[in-house]
Amino acid sequence: MIHNFNAGPSILPKEVFEQASKAILNFNNTGLSILEIGHRTSLFEAVLDEARSLVRELMQLNDDKEILFLHGGASTQFFQVPMNFLDEHETGAYLDCGIWGIKAIREAKLFGNVNVVASSKDRNYTYVPKDYVIPANAKYFHYTSNNTIEGTEMFYIPETNVPIVVDMSSDILSRQTDFNRFSLIYAGAQKNIGAAGVNLVIIDRNFKPVVNRKLPSMMDYMQHIANGSMLNTPPVFAVYVCMLTLRWLKSIGGIPAIEKINQQKADLVYSTLDAHPLFRPTVAKEDRSRMNVVFVMDDPEKEKQFLDLCKKENMVGVKGHRSVGGFRVSLYNALPLESAKAFCDLAKSFN
Ligand SMILES: *Cc1c(COP(=O)(O)O)cnc(C)c1O
């Protein structure tokens, strides 16, 4: 058995792979492949409708929320958000908690002013800043709920009247939160929702994009909403894989059920690492991500030995991001508890 700790694209449920591969050969007993049906057919419309309604149900979204499936990865949202919501002389408030947030900040500066309300750069992004003021005149406040690379996660939603925009790419659907508090949520699918190639974007209808600049149609959220994610050909197969993964999540009990398992996996892994004399988790305890566990060793020779051992034991994707070094073990929704246990057994045996 391979234990897949990849950070993204990452593990999906086995039954999703089985169902998706069947649909490539014969989709819903139509004799056609999912790859060759028209996106405006009732066949695909049913897929998109089911995906949307599963998102609404699992996240308990209210009727003000519009659910979109868009192209371009989360990186497109870094600029599509300011392009739609931030005029040249307006200010967007941003929290700087690592590489993905920095990229969002850089893109926002192309369109308007950016106020970085707090940063954890002073300690290499190993914690989440707590005390900061979100200026009341900001057009929106943007943060990254889980910092995939640095291994920090923000478990609370800041108190503010400013509309909140969140990049939830790597922890969406992994734990309960009040999703209705957000004016805009975006997430690339390849970590917790499905296959790479599609973004889930959820926009509150009361959060109005009012800017003076002209927008290309494909960049205009309003046009996507008006056309029900069918402004052009959607990434049909990627949306289908999302729908299957959402079905799976519902079948196992939804977000409350997966949160319990995710908590168990994270507790196991962190407590194993904390108890071990050689491993050193890098993140402040209260801000440790349940999705991406980042840790190092003080001896590069030992790091290499452990990496080789992981390889030998079929544990893939444990090498840390090049910017942090060390190790990163990702524990996304689809990672079975057994894989977390197997990793812990291996870590315990290492000396
Ligand atoms: C992976 C990731 C991204 C980038 O996603 P792409 O789909 O590659 O553009 C952005 N934000 C976060 C938090 C991520 O984990």
CATH of the domain at 321: 3.90.1150.10
- Torsions phi, psi of 199, nearest 5? -115, 140
Taking only the tens place, the pLDDT of each residue in 297-326 is 999 999 999 999 999 999 999 999 988 899
Is 9 inside a domain boundary? no
**Pair 236, 32: CB distance under 8 Å:** no
The count of domains in the chain is 2
Query: Does the beta carbon of 75 lie inside 6 Å of ligand 1?
Result: yes
Residue-by-residue pLDDT tens, the chain, 351 positions: 999 999 999 999 999 999 999 999 999 999 999 999 999 999 999 999 999 999 999 999 999 999 999 999 999 999 999 999 999 999 999 999 999 999 999 999 999 999 999 999 999 999 999 999 999 999 999 999 999 999 999 999 999 999 999 999 999 999 999 999 999 999 999 999 999 999 999 999 999 999 999 999 999 999 999 999 999 999 999 999 999 999 999 999 999 999 999 999 999 999 999 999 999 999 999 999 999 999 999 999 999 999 999 999 999 999 999 888 999 999 999 999 999 999 999 999 999
CA of 8 to the centre of ligand 1 (A): 8
Distance 159 CA to ligand 1 centre (A): 25
Task: Report yes or no on 8 lying in a domain.
Answer: no
Given 205, 222, 251, the domain boundary residue is 251
Rounded CA-CA distance 146/125 in Å is: 12
Cα–Cα distance measured from residue 210 to residue 140, given in angstroms and rounded to the nearest whole number: 13
- As given in the structure block, the two tokens for residue 151 are 């291994």
| Assigned domain for 43 exists | yes
Average pLDDT over the chain, rounded to whole? 97
Quick one: tokens of 70? 């868009």
Is 220 within a domain? Answer: yes
Q: Are residues 128 and 79 in the same domain?
A: yes
Closest CA to 284 of 132, 158, 97: 97
Range(s) of the domain holding residue 264? 254-349
The residue with tokens 């840390």 is 320
- Ligand 1 binding pocket mutation candidate from 148, 167, 169 (most atoms within 8 A of CB): 169
Answer yes or no: do 200 and 265 share one domain.
Answer: no
Q: Which residues face 292 on adjacent strands?
A: 330
273 & 141 share domain: no
- CA pseudo-torsion sign 52, 56, 59, 65: positive
pTM above 0.95, yes or no: yes
188 lines ligand 1 (CB under 6 A): yes
Using an 8 Å Cβ cutoff, are 82 and 108 in contact?
yes
Q: Quick check: is 7 in a domain?
A: no
Enclosing H/E stretch for 25: helix 14-25
